[in-house]
């Protein structure tokens, strides 16, 4: 005769270990999705390998490693309800009907994410960036042309089916022989709090001051490799709350050409002068506090000395209300024309050519200094625009050796009153 205790709790499982049953199941099932996301990243690279030249095995492994951070975030967003359902500290989780409900929840949310990720293997070629929420606008057209799409891209349907089959088989294999385990309220509540805390950290991308976003990938790789680090579900999730701009049509192209010429063609005889370029970006500032105001007191003696020896443009205007608006406006000629700042908009991964990119063509050294520890978003967009290094600690500006080669040095939040040594 088998005692009730031994029937509910197998001999090889201790009472303490059994409390982690549902947490362990959750981890196993989310690891299945993580493996699928890694396979899709490799498939994305292989399918579009012609668009990513000079990416060797070491670089690919580096990309896959940092891509895990974005995968974890996307997976936890997509499976938020599934995670909560697994972690709820109630004994009804042992019932078969509840586990079937969790399984349905798992596939209801993960299959659309899988569909968009597989579709983006081909869709990427047409816009050269990961799909965003705008892909839903093509759903009707996709349904009408389903037969043609299947004929042209049947291999993607096979890939999607194989991935779905693998997920279903592996998910089934994770089920234990029994869910009948001793229920300890205190332990289950503690596991619930721990699990929710880890989930929030995973969604944010870690313990950094600001959550990760698609452009954060530019902190690790070059602009053209950002789509490999990202994943399509992550990109769609982070584009839901953003607004796309509507292109105005005030003039036809012919009328606009007759009114003004927006293109500038420099003389071919002009030669590039290999000189250092220093751009001082000052925030919350006005010329009335400088020597330009003859009736007032100047608080910027150093800037005044530069103005006397260099080229001074008196018609200067603000480029944005915030740092994340001003920096793209100054360096890439992108003024504030949208509701969202450029570096937080749906266009943050678009390719633009700014001052750093132009100077890169001349083999210059490019550095950005910002005495602010929370400047990650600005730092990533600058690296995305070909700035070599970004220093966000004020003390490093003094101690970091600077190459004497021609370069551009961009300093934000610059103050002329520097303590004497």
**Chain segment 345-398, per-residue pLDDT in tens:** 667 666 677 777 777 777 677 666 665 554 545 555 555 555 544 444 433 333
pLDDT higher than threshold 90 for residue 104: yes
Tell me the pLDDT of the chain averaged across its residues. Answer: 77
CA pair distance 299, 281, nearest whole angstrom: 16
CA pair distance 63, 67, nearest whole angstrom: 6
pTM of the model: 0.67
pLDDT of residue 414: 36
Residues composing the chain:
421
pLDDT higher than threshold 60 for residue 6: no
From first CA to last CA, the distance across the chain in angstroms is 86
Q: Which stretch of 23-37, 105-119, 150-164, 192-206 has the lowest confidence by average pLDDT?
A: 150-164
Share of the chain above pLDDT 90, in %: 25
pLDDT of residue 390: 47
pLDDT higher than threshold 50 for residue 116: yes
Q: The tokens 């362990």 sit on which residue?
A: 24
pLDDT higher than threshold 90 for residue 325: no
Contacts 24+ apart (CB under 8 A), 59-63: 62/220, 62/221, 63/220, 63/221, 63/225, 63/228, 63/229
pLDDT band at 167 (very low <50, low <70, confident <90, very high): very high
Of these ranges, 181-195, 318-332, 355-369, 379-393, the one predicted with the greatest mean pLDDT is 181-195
DSSP 8-state symbol, 376: H
pLDDT higher than threshold 90 for residue 193: yes
pLDDT higher than threshold 70 for residue 238: yes
392: closest CA among 403, 382, 384?
382
CA pair distance 413, 26, nearest whole angstrom: 46
- CB 214 within 8 Å of CB 74: no
Determine whether 324 is exposed, middle or buried from the number of CB atoms within 10 Å of its CB (0-12, 13-18, 19+). middle
pLDDT band at 42 (very low <50, low <70, confident <90, very high): very high
Q: Regarding the domain with residue range 274-412, which homologous superfamily does it belong to in the CATH classification? A: Alkaline Phosphatase, subunit A (3.40.720.10)
pLDDT band at 180 (very low <50, low <70, confident <90, very high): low
Two tokens at 280? 């001082």
- Say what the alpha-carbon torsion angle 291, 297, 299, 305 is, to the nearest 10 degrees: 30
Domain ranges of the chain: 4-237, 274-412
- CB 211 within 8 Å of CB 205: yes
């Amino acid at each position: 005769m088998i005692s009730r205790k031994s029937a509910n709790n197998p001999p090889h499982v201790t009472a303490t270990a059994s409390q982690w049953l549902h947490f362990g199941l959750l981890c196993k099932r989310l690891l299945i999705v993580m493996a699928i996301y890694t396979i899709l990243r490799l498939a994305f690279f292989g399918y579009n390998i012609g668009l990513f030249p000079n990416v060797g095995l070491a670089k690919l492994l580096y990309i896959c490693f940092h891509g895990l951070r974005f995968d974890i975030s996307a997976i936890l967003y997509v499976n938020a309800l599934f995670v909560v359902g697994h972690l709820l500290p109630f004994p009804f989780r042992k019932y078969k009907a509840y586990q079937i409900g969790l399984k349905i929840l798992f596939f209801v949310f993960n299959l659309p994410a899988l569909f968009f990720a597989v579709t983006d293997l081909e869709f990427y070629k047409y816009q050269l960036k990961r799909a965003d929420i705008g892909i839903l606008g093509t759903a009707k057209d996709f349904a009408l042309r389903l037969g043609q799409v299947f004929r042209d891209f049947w291999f993607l349907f096979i890939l999607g089916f194989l991935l779905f089959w693998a997920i279903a088989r592996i998910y089934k294999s994770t089920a234990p022989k029994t869910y009948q385990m001793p229920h300890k309220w205190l332990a289950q509540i503690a596991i619930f709090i721990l699990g929710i805390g880890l989930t929030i950290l995973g969604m944010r991308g870690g313990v950094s001051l600001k959550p990760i976003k698609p452009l954060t990938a530019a902190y690790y790789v070059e602009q053209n490799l950002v789509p490999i680090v990202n994943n399509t579900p992550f990109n769609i999730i982070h584009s839901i709350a953003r607004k796309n701009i509507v292109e105005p049509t005030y003039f036809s192209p012919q009328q606009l050409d007759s009114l003004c010429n927006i293109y500038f063609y420099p003389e071919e005889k002009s030669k590039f002068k290999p000189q250092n370029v220093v751009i001082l970006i000052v925030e919350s500032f006005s010329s009335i506090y400088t020597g330009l105001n003859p009736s007032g007191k100047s608080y910027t003696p150093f800037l005044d000395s530069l103005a006397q020896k260099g080229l001074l443009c008196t018609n200067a205007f603000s480029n944005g209300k915030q740092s994340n608006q001003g920096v793209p406006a100054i360096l890439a000629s992108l003024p504030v024309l949208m509701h969202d700042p450029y570096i937080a908009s749906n266009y943050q991964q678009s390719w633009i050519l700014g001052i750093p990119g132009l100077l890169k063509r001349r083999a210059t050294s490019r550095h950005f200094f910002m005495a602010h520890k929370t400047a990650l978003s600005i730092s990533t967009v600058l690296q995305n625009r070909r700035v070599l290094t970004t220093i966000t600690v004020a003390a490093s500006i003094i101690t970091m050796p600077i190459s004497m080669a021609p370069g551009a040095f961009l300093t934000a939040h610059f103050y002329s009153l520097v303590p004497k040594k």
